[in-house]
């Protein structure tokens, strides 16, 4: 019985060790083809299945081997001064359709594929030949850099094989701060070998939060609150409470989006003057709207019609420039097609709703009044 127990114990231990060896990717045997120039590297799991091996020599030469699971497409590692793709330089590797390995340096001049230029950028490579190999369903990008001064790195992969050195849009990517001299990184997964991506998407999670909050606030809630105020006055006083409640929630979410934007700007210091300036302008208009609520004259006051005029047109102006800024933010943030399509559908629904309700409002008004003697309704 004891023999059976020990046999089961050691079999279980062997299976556990095998499972750990499969998940602990730093323990995977290093490909012999890279051992000559890339031995003795420190190793860290960094994101998803990406593993970073690195070594910084005394003469400031950085040796890097980046590996991840691979079937097809491309894998890249970029270096950036501000954590953004635009303006960064990257080493990208892939296996061509004929089985030929490729590793190229790219400069990300802009967001479109045509602005990703091969054999340009700020990376200064050594004389050691770059290599890319596939071993046991993992791809390894090996390269060396001189005097690396950019520690904000980008990791990305694409599903399509580049043709004529033209990169397709990445399927997923992340950004993290990595200090090659100490091996520390922001949001580090620690020594347990965890490959979770939480923490590594900063500042991209923050960018998505900033965009989502402002889109919901200025692109959805605040326009709906304005629609309620203009077209639902027959349900008095319900329209007023709905209007105030929706606008209050939208304004709070908008403030949260601004706070996220300020944190993002302090983190990246990117040049988005138009988007930032429009955002400040819209915020000021929003604050003026809130202040105007507390200084609203009585209905019988002679000043009420001027207050109405001010409140209505400042609100419309704020919503118009907010829509412009949302479109601009999606563009400068490189949010992707899903954000463009989503906001386009949302904006189209709002505009169609306003047109239909406006026609109904004017039709209802024309039945009750003579348009030659009575002015049209003004919200």
Model pLDDT for residues 91-140, shown as the tens digit of each residue = 899 998 888 888 888 888 776 677 787 877 666 666 666 888 888 888 99
Q: What is the pLDDT of residue 318?
A: 95
Tell me the whole-structure pTM to 2 decimals: 0.54
DSSP conformation class of 110: S
Q: pLDDT higher for 287 or 152?
A: 287
On the question of pLDDT at 317 being above 50, the answer is: yes
Tell me, which fold does domain 25-185 have in CATH? Answer: Immunoglobulin-like (2.60.40)
On the question of pLDDT at 292 being above 50, the answer is: yes
The CATH number of domain 204-368 is 1.20.120.1770: yes
CB neighbours (10 Å) of residue 66? 23
Nearest to 215 by CA among 325, 289, 337: 325
Reduced to 3 states (helix: H, G, I; strand: E, B; else coil), residue 217 is helix
Q: pLDDT higher for 74 or 171?
A: 74
Find which of 39-48, 171-180, 304-313, 334-343 is predicted with most confidence, using mean pLDDT: 304-313
Q: Which residue has the tokens 């019988």?
A: 300
Q: pLDDT higher for 266 or 92?
A: 92
Q: What is the pLDDT of residue 28?
A: 66
On the question of pLDDT at 79 being above 90, the answer is: no
Q: What is the pLDDT of residue 8?
A: 35
CATH 1.20.120.1770 domain extents, the chain: 204-368
**pLDDT digit string, tens, across residues 7-64:** 433 344 343 343 333 334 676 667 888 877 787 888 888 887 888 988 888 777 888 8
CATH 2.60.40.1210 domain extents, the chain: 25-185
Band of the pLDDT at 190, cuts 50, 70, 90?
very low
DSSP conformation class of 362: H
Residue 282 burial by CB count (10 A; 0-12/13-18/19+): exposed, middle or buried? buried
Q: pLDDT higher for 117 or 312?
A: 312
Reduced to 3 states (helix: H, G, I; strand: E, B; else coil), residue 330 is helix
pLDDT averaged over every residue in the chain? 79
**pLDDT digit string, tens, across residues 206-220:** 888 999 999 999 999
On the question of pLDDT at 187 being above 50, the answer is: no
Show Cβ contacts of residue 39 under 8 Å, excluding neighbours closer than 6 positions.
30
Cis peptide before 203 (omega within 30 of 0): yes
Reduced to 3 states (helix: H, G, I; strand: E, B; else coil), residue 334 is coil
């Amino acid at each position: 019985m004891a023999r059976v127990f020990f046999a089961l114990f050691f079999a279980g231990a062997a299976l556990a060790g095998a499972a750990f060896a499969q998940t602990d990717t730093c323990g995977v045997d290093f490909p012999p083809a890279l051992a000559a120039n890339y031995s003795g590297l420190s190793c860290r799991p960094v994101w998803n299945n990406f593993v970073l091996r690195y070594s910084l020599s005394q003469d400031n030469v950085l040796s890097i081997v980046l590996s991840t699971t691979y079937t097809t497409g491309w894998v890249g590692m970029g270096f950036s001064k501000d954590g953004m793709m635009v303006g960064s330089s990257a080493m990208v590797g892939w296996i061509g359709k004929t089985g030929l390995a490729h590793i190229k340096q790219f400069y990300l001049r802009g967001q479109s594929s045509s602005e990703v230029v091969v054999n340009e950028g700020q990376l200064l490579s050594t004389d050691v030949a770059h290599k890319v190999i596939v071993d046991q369903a993992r791809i390894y990008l090996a390269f060396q850099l001189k005097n690396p001064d950019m520690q904000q790195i980008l990791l990305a992969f694409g599903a399509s094989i580049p043709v004529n050195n033209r990169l397709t849009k990445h399927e997923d990517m992340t950004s993290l701060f990595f200090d090659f001299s100490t091996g520390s990184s922001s949001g580090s997964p620690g020594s347990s070998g965890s490959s979770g991506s939480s923490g590594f998407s900063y500042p991209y999670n923050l960018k998505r939060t900033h965009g989502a909050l402002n889109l919901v606030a200025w692109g959805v809630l605040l326009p709906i609150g304005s629609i309620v105020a203009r077209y639902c006055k027959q349900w008095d006083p319900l329209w007023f409470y709905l209007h105030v409640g929706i606008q209050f929630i939208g304004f709070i979410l908008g403030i949260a989006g601004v706070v996220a934007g300020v944190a993002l700007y302090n983190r990246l210091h990117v040049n988005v003057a138009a988007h930032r300036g429009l955002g400040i302008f819209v915020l000021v208009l929003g604050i003026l709207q809130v202040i105007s609520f507390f200084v609203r004259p009585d209905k019988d006051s002679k000043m009420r019609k001027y207050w109405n005029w001010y409140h209505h047109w400042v609100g419309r102006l704020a919503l118009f420039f907010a829509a412009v800024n949302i479109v601009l933010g999606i563009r400068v943030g490189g949010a992707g097609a899903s954000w463009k399509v989503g906001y386009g559908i949302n904006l189209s629904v709002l505009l169609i709703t306003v047109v239909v309700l406006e026609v109904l409002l004017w039709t209802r008004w024309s039945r009750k009044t003579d348009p030659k003697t009575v002015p049209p309704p003004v919200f």
